[in-house]
Structure 1
Amino acid sequence: MRSPRTRRRRLRRPAAAALPYCRKGHRKKKDRRRREGSGGMTASLSDDSLASIFTRLPDAAAVIRCAATCRRWARVVATRAAIISRSLQPLGRFLPDLAVGVFHQEKDWPTARGRDTVPSRPCFVARARFLGVGGGRQLWGLDDDGGLLDYSRPVASRNGRLVLELRREGRAVDGLRLAVYNPMTSDNNIVIVPPLIVSAAPGGKNSTTTTRDYGCALLTGHDLRPPRCQSFFRLLLIYNRRRRRRDSTVLRCYSSHTGRWGPEAESDVRIHASRLRCIGQAVVRRGVAFWALDHGVLGVRLDHHTDQDGAVTDMHLLPYNINQHWPENRLLGVSADNRLFMMHVGVRNGQNKILIASFSYFEFPEEDDIRTGRRETVREDAFVLMHQMKMEHHHTGIKLRWFGDKSGLVLFTMGARSGHAGTFVLNLWEELVYKVADDGDSWNNLIGYEMDMAAYLASIDRHSFT
């Protein structure tokens, strides 16, 4: 199926971007035999020497091309993926192969009226491409956890890490408990974050409470400049707390380096609890976390010193009137050329009613100062027509769930009334829609998952020559 072309302006792609790499089709037998081993000038080089050369390549696309040359080079890239990935520049284009599937929870936290006899655990739905590469293997750590993940729900994911909220029956006041781990690794190294206990009424009998409505942003070592070690991460939470008979919105950060929560910082914008409940996914651009609010986009910058707890150093609300769009019908993202955008979905008027995604971009005249951020006014908004999604009426019932900033995939769900019930992904590179699951509209907790670059390079040896 050809990509849709009828729109006011195509999504901007980097001039140097190449077409996506495709492993479909069949190679001739003589090509397979020729690529079994590496000959020529590199035959005498050791694996370490080859890996050192790969670390000097300009980007991930060049490394992938080298891995496709012969089995030996693919093996070197896979076995030294962690070292090579740390030296690579940002992708510069979307790489859909990084997205492997969807984490979701069909049943939410059990109510007091009726507890589930069987605890609801996070489920994983793999993309067809991932099933073909991995032979349908399960992600590590979801089954062999000793009941740790019972009733847990997925909160955020980024750069190969997954954030889960840990919940237990009968534990309503022991603070917010989060866990972070990489489900693509086999070491089951789950980091249990210290409980976050929020003061509700200092000096009173019930001076603590558990945060239920909050937004969570995950920042990894790749988000800092210069990049930090692969195991480093920060969690930035935004939530409400009671102060002097009124709720105030605050931010707080946890650092994996110090192993503790930093101080609270009061937000410049007060967010009602009902809005925090559906604040949506946070995106990260140049080390700044962004959330979409009703009247703009809130940007928060943290202290860049990794030996600190991650204090909030700056925050700013980028003005943009998005109150006309329901929270489930808007989504923040970062383009392949590193531009922050807001995505909306509607129905195009005409004889054939089809879904249309519109993208409004933001610009930062001074990149290191988020207070200079504003909506772009020089260029027109971009549009993508989803010709596969023909609608009978304008009430789409769509819910935009998650955006993969490395893969360029937009995850959304639709109900039965739309005529397209299920979970879908919009591939911004191909501008095509793919169905992931037959249901999903009723799932409260649903996020996509992307591998980190090290895990992706490590998997190259398994599927480069199949």
Structure 2
Amino acid sequence: MPPRRRARLSSRPYSSVAAAEQCPRGWLAARRNRPSKRARRLATATAQGGKDDGTPLTDEILVGIFAGLPGFSDLVRCAATCRQWCRLVSGEAAFICRAARCRPPPLRSLALGFFYSHRDGAVPRFAATASASRRLGLRRPSLNALVEGLDDGLFDASRVVASRNGLLLVELQRRKRERALKLCVCNPMTGEVTVLPPLGGKEISRPFACAIFTAEDDDESHLSDPPSAPSSYRLLLVYGRRGFTACRTYSSDGGRWGPQAKAITAVRLGKKTMASMTGTGAVVVRNVAYWRAMGIVLGVRLHTLQAEHVDIPLTGHDPAGNTLLGVSPNGRLRVVQVVEQMMCRATGKVSIAIGVSTRSTAGDKWDPLLVIEVVGRFLPAETTWMRLRWLCEKSGVVFLTAGCAGDQTSDVYALSLDRQEAERVASHHGGDGDLHGYEMDRTSYLRSLAMDEDDDDP
């Protein structure tokens, strides 16, 4: 039974029914209102004894082989081989992702869109990419549509503060003169919403930065006893106290916040520096969360709270700091910046490009800058300004806004750094409100492989 509404501020899932279902019920789940034709055919074939793939191996042996594949792309190719293998890969996605040690390649299809607030006090809404709309049949719901039948305005006047690996961290509305911090973690793909225990005003100070760690970030999670669940996660809050930088962690397994601790060797961060860390999100590399903090990159290791400071490679062309952090396909920290290059000295016309710098393997310097021309290639030639808004860590997709001088609105584009492709996601997007990109986790992606591929078949 779902918990009573008055007990909403507990660590239990807001909708335990949605959380316990095997099939995803979130409004971002593929074809959640009806099973696809392919899924119905697979269920019928299974009930009738299934279709033999030509091998004498049992399903259990095949799943074990899939979980031991060295590359994530190999796993996707296996799912495309036959219907039986697709059923096994998608149906046992949670086990395979927990046991697999391979790092997934940058798949653009992981990025589904972005969350935004179109006005102050409104429920954050979702804008899907064209590919996600076609693939998953997405609409434009608000966060209040996460759980079917939710109508009590849990997310009214809320704001998204973090987005990573298929999870959203949302700060819930505060009453007047209330200083308590109320957060909830939700998964739009499954519909699970967990309201965390509130933190009083004496337990944390604003502004704060947050990072989400999931089971995918722990390379040794499959060796733990008992093994951590694929849906488990941990949160790391970083905020300033008088004289030091403080940290606080939350574990979904324990359902409670840990005590306040001091970040080791971290410099004292002021409110302006801390505020600059909250808008562009955190990336995680080997259990270390990185934020862009003014002119540096601040890294904090989850288990030891050891801090490190990395200088940002300055291009000299963008003093405003139009900069995002990301992760390269080989798992290294990278920085994405706006670069303005002069095209003609006589006319003063500039070409806006994006520069990508990747941390060296040794971690002591930055590799040579890679420049990607944007205006005239992906954006209209008359574009005069561009702002980087969000970099999706797993897919390498950058959400950016661009427009012309004097226009009150702008367009939102999704640019794939690795595939060098772009699409316009939203037109006439007004305002400079918060924008948080959203991408699926590996488990949701594998489950989506079994969705319908031939809706038009009779």
> Does the pair score TM above 0.5?
yes
Report the CA distance shift for 1:347/1:321 in structure 2 as closer, same or farther (over 3 A).
closer
Equivalent position of 2:358 in the other structure: 361
1:253 equivalent to 2:249? Answer: yes
1:388 equivalent to 2:378? Answer: yes
1:107 aligned partner, one-letter code: R
180, 193, 197: which is aligned to 1:194?
197
After superposition, give the CA deviation of every residue in 1:200-250 in whole Å (9 maximum; x if it has no partner).
xxxxxxxx7x74422111111111121342122111122233x3xxx6542
Equivalent position of 2:54 in the other structure: 41
Equivalent position of 2:153 in the other structure: 147
Supply the distance in 2 between the matched residues of 1:181 and 1:439 (Cα, whole angstroms).
28
Secondary structure of 2:356's partner? strand
Report the CA distance shift for 1:256/1:349 in structure 2 as closer, same or farther (over 3 A).
same
After superposition, give the CA deviation of every residue in 1:163-204 in whole Å (9 maximum; x if it has no partner).
11111443x42411111121101xx331211112242xxxxx
2:297 aligned partner, one-letter code: V
Deviation of 1:58 (Å): 1.9
Assess if the C-alpha contact under 8 Å between 2:276 and 2:292 holds in 1.
no
Assess if the C-alpha contact under 8 Å between 1:360 and 1:375 holds in 2.
no
Deviation of 1:436 (Å): 0.7
1:214 aligned partner, one-letter code: F
Equivalent position of 2:40 in the other structure: none
Deviation of 1:297 (Å): 1.0
After superposition, give the CA deviation of every residue in 1:9-42 in whole Å (9 maximum; x if it has no partner).
xxxxxxxxxxxxxxxxxxxxxxxxxxx9854532
Deviation of 1:272 (Å): 2.4
Q: Which moved more, 1:423-432 or 1:350-359?
A: 350-359
Assess if the C-alpha contact under 8 Å between 1:294 and 1:322 holds in 2.
no
1:176 equivalent to 2:181? Answer: yes
After superposition, give the CA deviation of every residue in 1:331-356 in whole Å (9 maximum; x if it has no partner).
01110011111111122221574321
Report the CA distance shift for 1:169/1:327 in structure 2 as closer, same or farther (over 3 A).
farther
2:387 aligned partner, one-letter code: K
Secondary structure of 1:438's partner? strand
Secondary structure of 2:276's partner? coil
Equivalent position of 1:317 in the other structure: 309
Report the CA distance shift for 1:222/1:149 in structure 2 as closer, same or farther (over 3 A).
same
**Percent same amino acid among aligned pairs?**
35
Deviation of 1:328 (Å): 5.8
Equivalent position of 2:214 in the other structure: 220
Equivalent position of 1:432 in the other structure: 421
1:76 equivalent to 2:64? Answer: no
Report the CA distance shift for 1:55/1:463 in structure 2 as closer, same or farther (over 3 A).
same
Equivalent position of 2:3 in the other structure: none
Equivalent position of 2:24 in the other structure: none
Assess if the C-alpha contact under 8 Å between 2:354 and 2:373 holds in 1.
yes
After superposition, give the CA deviation of every residue in 1:357-406 in whole Å (9 maximum; x if it has no partner).
112222363xxxxxxx4332xx421111122225558x62x332211121
Equivalent position of 1:204 in the other structure: none
419, 443, 458: which is aligned to 2:447?
458
Supply the distance in 1 between the matched residues of 2:128 and 2:180 (Cα, whole angstroms).
32
Secondary structure of 2:78's partner? helix
2:207 aligned partner, one-letter code: D
Assess if the C-alpha contact under 8 Å between 2:53 and 2:82 holds in 1.
no
Alignment of 1:116-131 (within 5 A): 120-131=122-133
2:427 aligned partner, one-letter code: D
1:159 equivalent to 2:154? Answer: no
Deviation of 1:92 (Å): 4.8
Deviation of 1:463 (Å): 4.1
Equivalent position of 2:74 in the other structure: 62
Supply the distance in 2 between the matched residues of 1:321 and 1:337 (Cα, whole angstroms).
19
Q: Which moved more, 1:445-454 or 1:132-141?
A: 132-141
Assess if the C-alpha contact under 8 Å between 1:99 and 1:449 holds in 2.
yes
Assess if the C-alpha contact under 8 Å between 1:214 and 1:240 holds in 2.
yes
2:74 aligned partner, one-letter code: A
Q: 4+ residue stretches of structure 1 with deviation over 6 A?
A: none
Q: CA RMSD for the aligned pairs?
A: 2.8
Aligned residue pairs: how many?
385
Equivalent position of 2:99 in the other structure: 87
Supply the distance in 2 between the matched residues of 1:174 and 1:333 (Cα, whole angstroms).
33
Q: Where does structure 2 lack aligned partners over 5 or more consecutive residues? A: 1-44, 222-227
Report the CA distance shift for 1:55/1:355 in structure 2 as closer, same or farther (over 3 A).
same
Report the CA distance shift for 1:459/1:441 in structure 2 as closer, same or farther (over 3 A).
same
Supply the distance in 2 between the matched residues of 1:97 and 1:182 (Cα, whole angstroms).
17
- Normalised by the length of structure 2, the TM-score is 0.76
1:274 equivalent to 2:277? Answer: no
Supply the distance in 2 between the matched residues of 1:232 and 1:165 (Cα, whole angstroms).
20
Q: Where does structure 1 lack aligned partners over 5 or more consecutive residues? A: 1-35, 110-119, 200-207, 304-311, 366-372
Supply the distance in 1 between the matched residues of 2:58 and 2:134 (Cα, whole angstroms).
32
Report the CA distance shift for 1:65/1:323 in structure 2 as closer, same or farther (over 3 A).
closer
Equivalent position of 1:409 in the other structure: 397
99, 103, 106: which is aligned to 2:118?
106
Report the CA distance shift for 1:131/1:392 in structure 2 as closer, same or farther (over 3 A).
closer
